Amino acid sequence: MAAVADHMRVLAQWGELDPASEKEGFGQCLWNAEANKQCRKVPESGATTLIECLESAKNAQKDRRATGWREVIQVHQVDEGGAKREKIQLANEYKWLTYNQYYDRVYAIARGLNSIGVKPQTKVVIYAETQRDWMATAFATWFSNGQVVTIYATLGEDGAIHGINETEAEIVVADAKLLKILAKVLPKCESVKHVVTMTQCDTELADKVKSESKVGITSLDELIEQSKEHDFKPAVTTPEDVAVIMYTSGTTGPPKGVVLTQGNVMAVVAGVEYCLKGAATPDDVYLCYLPLAHIMEMAAEVCFMALGLSLGFGSPHTLTDTGVKLKRPESIGDAACLQPTFMVFAPAVLDKVYQAVQAKRANLGFLGQTLFQWGLNSGERHFDKGKVGANGFFNKFVFEKVQALVGGRIRFMITGSAPLSPEIQKFIQTVLSAPVRQGYGLTETCAGSCIGFWGDNSTGCVGPPTVSAVIRLADWPEGNYKNADLENPEIGMRRGEILIGGPAVSTGYFINPKKPNDELALKNKEDWIEIDGARFFRTGDIGQIKPDGSIQIIDRKKDLWKGPNGEYVALTKVEAALKLVEFVDMPMCYGKVGAEWPIALICPQKARILALGKELGLGDDFEKLCLEEKVVTQVSDACKKACKEQKLVAFEIPVKYALIADLWTPENDMLTAAMKLKRPLIATKHKDAIDRCFV
C-alpha cells in the first residue's frame, strides 16, 4: 500500500468553484484544483493521438509485459442440471507479449487491414467479447486513421444490423463464435465487404457465409500472413479525427452511436494519469474482463497502457474459481491465475461478490460467523477513520480466503457505470483490504470525468472533476434541486443536474448524412449546451457539491417516480437498499403513474428461496415457490426491514413485492451490456406481476 500512501500525500487537491463563471440557473464551474481553470488535453508524454500514445508506451516500456492471455486447452460439454453446459478448460498460466511485441502485432494487423481496404474514415466494426486482439484491432484501425465502431457482443442480430447499416461499415472484425449471428446478419448489411475473425473459425460455416453473402472471410493471423508483402504507410492523424463511434446499449430505444475523437480519448488519458499519479506504476497488473464495447473498459485499457501497466485478459464467466463457464477442477479462475493488483468493477459485479461472500458466511458456524462480523466491525471502524481494511488478525485469518478469490494481491479498485451502495463499498473495502473508489463519466464524456481521491473514504462520492473536465450544476426546479440550496441551512450545498465540459466531451451522436434522423438531431441540440463558448453535456444525473469540492450523485432525472402527494422517489436509492437483502439477487423498484405507492420486482437468490421452501415445507419447485404467498411474505418483510434500516422514509418503501423466477440478463434483453436495468422492457414483460401488486 506504499504507493497509495504516497498518492494520498501528493494528491491532496480537491475541486474549487470559480465565482466568475456564475450563470443564472447554471451555478459556478467546478474545476480540479490542480487544473488551474484550464483543462488538460494531453498526457505528460505529449501524445495527441492514440497511435502516439501507443508509441510512447512502447518506447518507455520496451520489453516489459504488455498484454497477457490464457490459452484454451479444450471446450467441454458437461451435464449440469439435466442440460448440456459449455465449460472451458484454460491453461493455468498467462502467456505474455512485451510492449515491443504488442506494438509489432498491432502494426502487422494494421498492414493487414489496410490491404483489404481500411483507409482514413473507413468504418471498422469490432463485434467481439473482450480479449487481447480487441484493442490490438482498434489500434491497428487507428494506424490508417480508420474509425472503430463498437457493438456489444450481447446486442444480438438487431443491434448488429443497426450499427453496421447506420455507419455503412465495410469491415467487421468479430469473435469466431459470433460468425453464426453474422451469417444471419450479413444478407441485410450490404455495405460489408470483409469479415475478419479474431481466431480460426469453422471452415464449413465460413464457406457457407462466403457463398451466401459474397463477403470475404479471413482470420487475423491469416490476414497478417497474407499481407506481409503489402506496402503500408500509416496515415497522418489529428486530435480532431474521429476515433470511435461507440454504440451504447441504451435502456430505451435503439442504440445510439456516440462519436469520440482522438482528442477526446487523449484528454481522458491526461485526466486519469494525474489521478493515478503516485498510485499506479508499471509494476501493477490490471485484469481486463469488462466489455470493451463499453467506454469504461476501453478508456481504462488505453489509460493503463499509457501508464505502462501489464494487462491480462479474462472473462466474467471465468473470472473466479466459481465461474459459470470454468472447467473445474482442471482450471482456476482468471483472477487467481493472474493475481492482479488493480481492478475496475461495475457495481453489479461487486453486488454479486457481496452476495456470494454473504452466502458462504452463512455456512461458517457460530464461531466463524462471529469472527467474520468482528472483522467487519473492525473494517467499518477503520473506514470511518479514513483507513483501509480490518486489523491484521482479521485480515490474515478471516478475510484471506475472500481475497484469494481475486488473486490475493489487489491494491486498489475503481467502480463506475452506476452508483455503488455505501454498505457494499465498506464491505468490499474491508474484506479485500484495498481502497474502493468511485469514478464517474458517461460514454458522451469518454468516461473518467471524476475519480474519487484515494485518501477519501466518503461513500456516494465520485471525487472532484479530473484535470481534463469541468462541471456545472443546472437548476432542476421540477425535482426541487437548485444551486440556491447552498443557502438552505438544512442542505448547505449546491444541487442540480450535472453538466460536464472539457476536451473529453463527445461531438455528439452519429447521424449518417444519407439517412437523416430527426430524433438524434434533436438530441444533439438538447443534450449538449453551450455556455460562454464552452460546450457541456447534460448528464441527466443529479449531483451536489460537497464543501470539500467533491461531487456526490444523489438522484437521476429519469429514475424518479412522482407520488400522489407530489413527493419524488429515487428508484435507484430504493434498489440500493434492497440489494442488501439475503433473498435478493437483482431488484427493480417501480412506480405507476397515479398509483399510491411504489412496488418492487425481485429476481431472488435461487439457493435462498429453495432453502426457504424446504424450511416452510413447500417443496423445491423454484418457479412455484416464487408465487407462494408464504415465501413472498417472508421476502417482502425482509425487504421492508432493510429499507427501514437504510432510513428510507415511508413513501419511499415499496408496499408490495413480486418474485420473478426468470433472471434478468443482457442476453434476454432485460439488462444493458453494462448490467443496467432496461426498465421499460422489464415492466412490459412483467406487466401481469406489476398489475397484481397494485390491486
Query: What is the DSSP code string of 204-256?
Result: HHHHHHHHHH--EEEEHHHHHHHTTT----PPP--TTSEEEEEEE--SSSS-E
Percentage above 70 pLDDT, the chain: 96
33-37, 170-174, 257-261, 686-690: segment of lowest average pLDDT: 33-37
| pLDDT average, residue stretch 256-272 | 96
* Reduced 3-state DSSP string for 152-201: CCCCHHHHHHHHHHHHCCCEEEECHHHHHHHHHHHHHCCCCCEEEECCCC
Residue 7: the pLDDT is 42
Least Cα distance to 200 among 168, 223, 184 occurs for 223
- Beta bridge pairs of residue 591: none
Q: Say if residue 81 is exposed, middle or buried (CB neighbours under 10 Å; 0-12, 13-18, 19+).
A: exposed
26-40, 239-253, 386-400, 589-603: segment of lowest average pLDDT: 239-253
Show Cβ contacts of residue 77 under 8 Å, excluding neighbours closer than 6 positions.
Answer: 84, 85, 86, 87
The most confident of 53-67, 395-409, 506-520, by mean pLDDT: 53-67
Rounded to whole angstroms, how far apart are CA atoms 407 and 401?
A: 10
Taken in order of first residue, the domains within the chain and their CATH numbers are 2-42+332-556 (2.30.38.10), 99-237 (3.40.50.980), 563-693 (3.30.300.30)
pLDDT tier, 597 (very low <50, low <70, confident <90, very high otherwise): confident
Better pLDDT: 363 or 434: 434
Show Cβ contacts of residue 425 under 8 Å, excluding neighbours closer than 6 positions.
Answer: 415, 436, 438, 459
Residue 10: the pLDDT is 41
Q: Is 528 left (phi over 0), alpha (psi -120 to 50) or beta?
A: beta
Could you report the per-residue pLDDT of 83-142, keeping only the tens digit for each? 788 999 999 999 999 999 999 999 999 999 999 999 999 999 999 999 999 999 999 999
Residue 8: the pLDDT is 45
Contact (CB, 8 A) for 573 and 460: no
Q: Cell numbers of 309, please?
A: 501497466
Q: Which helix (H) or strand (E) holds 3?
A: helix 2-10
Rounded to whole angstroms, how far apart are CA atoms 572 and 554?
A: 10
Name the pTM for this structure. Answer: 0.85
Helix (H, G, I), strand (E, B) or coil at 688: helix
Rounded to whole angstroms, how far apart are CA atoms 242 and 30?
A: 28
Q: Is residue 5 predicted with pLDDT exceeding 50?
A: no
Residue 54: the pLDDT is 98
What is the overall mean pLDDT for the chain?
Answer: 91
Least Cα distance to 592 among 474, 506, 679, 518 occurs for 679
Could you report the per-residue pLDDT of 279-296, keeping only the tens digit for each? 889 999 999 999 999 899
Q: Is residue 251 predicted with pLDDT exceeding 60?
A: no
Residue 419: the pLDDT is 80
Helix (H, G, I), strand (E, B) or coil at 16: strand
Residue 680: the pLDDT is 78
